[in-house]
Amino acid sequence: MQENKKNVAIEVNDLVTHYGPRKILDGINLTVSEGEIMIIMGGSGSGKSTLLRYLLGLGIPTSGSIKLLGKDITKLNANEMFELRKNMGVAFQGGALLSSMTIGENVKLPLREHTELNEKTMDIMARMKLEVVNLGGFEELMPSELSGGMIKRAAVARAIVMDPKLMFFDEPSAGLDPVVSAELDDLILRLRDAMNMTIVVVTHELDSAFKIADRITVLDRGHILMSDTVEEIKNSDNERIQSLLNRRPSNDMINADEYLSRLTGM
Amino acid sequence: MSESIIHRFLNYIEIVGSLTVKLAEGAGYYFALLIESLAWIIVGPFYKQPVRIPSIFSQMMTIGIAACPIVFILSFSIGVMLAIQMIYNLKTFGAESQVVVGVALSITREFAPLITGILIAGRTGSALAAKLGTMQVNQEIDALRVMGINPVRYLVSPALLAMLIMVPILTFFSDIAGLLGGALYTGVEIGLSFSAYVDRTIAALMVGDIMQGLFKSLVFALIITLVGASNGFSVTGGAEGVGKATTRSVVLSISFIVIADMIFTYFLNR
Amino acid sequence: MKINIQQDDNYTTIGLDGAVDLSSSSDARKNIIEVLKENKNILIDLSLVSYIDSSGVASLVEGYQIAKKQSLKFGLFGVSDAAMSVLKLARLDQVFPIYNSKDEYEKEDV
């Protein structure tokens, strides 16, 4: 019973987006409950990164609505969006730390910009977050002095420094060795458990997805194929989901006429 | 046959049309960027999103103080060069001693702002484009946006303010360096003493001459910042894109500076 | 957030009441530091705290470090499960002296 009472943190309705004249996302419907870990999966070109950009409010959709914490970000004004962003944390694929600042200054940046806390408090908060991601003592280093995995973790520290309610991860395990990648998975689980964060992870790593997901949404060519629990996804008889799970290249039937016209351009 | 001529003609029209649209789009973007960065400077504090003073100062250091030696060397050389040319030209009229007036007016009204503008376009405008471009490629701009830190307020406004302060100051510095160059060469060539040169320069120059140069330099500062920033923000396609944007920003800024200079000179001397 | 300060024989209790977050934690910090400046042992009562975020925890960390330097007794009391999980995330549950009751705090020496 308790499950049903959970508040909805993210609600996407009939989202349609274009890149130039090309339709990228078509009729996306998605809900994520408070404290849930939702994995968005799909092959390259499936639109999963695009969906994330729109969830972050970095693009203006053609139609549809995106509600974060009950507020439709397609209709918010700049000031309301500014307030909402204080409750969102994002860990980008490459970390996206500002290369001109030390790790500590990077982590402190949101605090500096959004709060009037005492410098000492900000220092301690930043160091606490760096401890959470196992980077204690690294605050004086520049991003260029860190390895890829460390940069990703520092980016997580920066993303959680304001204690956000929503957390987004873009390909957290891409380019990392399996051990570091497993550590990040654990970190995601710990964050959810300790702070009841709602977490959206975009990834194509199956192992990591199965380990941390409450539910998985599978995207394919701009459509949602399925949005369900790990078990249901694993047992799905949808051919494209199975080929994604079994890492099989998709072997669609070829339409001879269409294929010929694609090749010749006529 | 005639059909193909008409076809070609239409093609040209289309090219001209799309160029005009691009130009208007570009101008519109520069203008919007200008308005937005100025707006943040003025209203930012009321929305608890001020433009940070320390970041303005650090920009001023890199734009201004670090550029002093090169501005001095170039302006000094221009001063010497002008003196050489003018003495050579004025000799024909036997009016070598008028070189002081010629150098003073050319330097303050024309060469100091122009050479400073071109130098800063190459130094700071390109650096701004490269910095913003790299940040765009590394998703740092996106990261700022999702953190609720407006990239224009955080990156462009401080640069714009620093440029508006430093470029006129550098131009004034360039005035002095150029006049010094002229004085030294004139002293050696026609034996005019340094103090006499200074006296005559002061007598020849009016405040308006210097102000004209400084006003131009303000406009150049705007051009360099806006062209550099908008080229940086619009980078796509990785490291190669950053390189292209950097080059484009330098070429565009210098072109705009020279054209703007011509237009201003025309109107300011009517 | 409200702050209740209560003097006992040899220690001061600072009771935090409500949400200790970005907007209120500097207030908590100021009070903690003031009590420590008067060279008094300190017990922070968190039993009425509805929510505490990292800025609140950071203020506690700073207070504890100051207390340690001055050899004063510092303790937390009434830590809720939610607050505990925030502490645990940064492994601070192993650092802070956490007491289940006031008696326990009173009996223990520095």
pLDDT of residue B232: 92
Question: Does A34 map to a domain?
Answer: yes
Q: Is C91 near chain A, with CB under 8 Å? A: yes
Q: Average pLDDT of A176-197?
A: 87
pLDDT confidence tier of residue B2, bands split at 50, 70 and 90: low
CA distance A167 to chain B (A): 11
What is the CA B215 to chain-centroid distance, rounded?
Answer: 11
Assign A5 a pLDDT band (cuts: 50, 70, 90): low
Domain count, chain A: 1
Model's pTM, two decimal places? Answer: 0.84
Q: Which domain holds residue A10?
A: 1-87+203-249
A109 CA to centre of own chain: 21
CATH classification of the domain holding A245: 3.40.50.300
Per-residue pLDDT reduced to its tens digit, A34-91: 999 999 988 877 888 889 999 999 888 999 899 999 889 988 888 888 889 999 999 9
Per-residue pLDDT tens digits for B50-67: 888 888 888 888 888 889
- CA C7 – CA C3 distance, rounded (Å): 13
Task: Express each pLDDT in B172-224 by its tens digit.
Answer: 999 999 999 989 998 888 888 888 888 888 888 888 888 999 999 999 999 99
Over residues B85-102, mean pLDDT: 85
d(CA B221, CA B205): 24
| DSSP state at residue C9 | S
pLDDT at A3: 47
CA distance A238 to A218: 11
Between A239 and A158, the higher pLDDT residue = A158
Report CB contact under 8 Å: A120, C54.
no
Beta-carbon separation of A56 and B142 below 8 A: yes
| Amino acid in the structure at residue B212 | Q
User: What is the ipTM metric for this complex?
Assistant: 0.88
Of the pLDDT bands very low, low, confident and very high (cuts 50, 70, 90), residue C23 is confident
Q: Kindly tell me whether chain B and chain A come into contact, counting contact as 3+ Cβ pairs under 8 Å.
A: yes
Q: Which residues lie closer than 8 Å to A58 by C-beta, 6 or more apart?
A: B142, B145, B146
Q: How far is C9 from chain A (nearest CA, A)?
A: 30
For B114-143, how does the pLDDT look when each residue is reduced to its tens digit (9 = 90+)?
Answer: 999 999 999 999 999 999 999 999 999 999
Angstrom distance (rounded) from CA A238 to CA A220: 12
Q: Which residue of C has its CA nearest to A132?
A: C90
Give how far B147 is from chain A: nearest CA, Å.
Answer: 6
Provide the CATH topology of domain C2-107: Transcription Regulator spoIIAA (3.30.750)
Q: Between the CA of residue A59 and those of A63, A97, C30, what are the distances in Å?
A: 12, 21, 42
Residue A122 lies in a domain: no
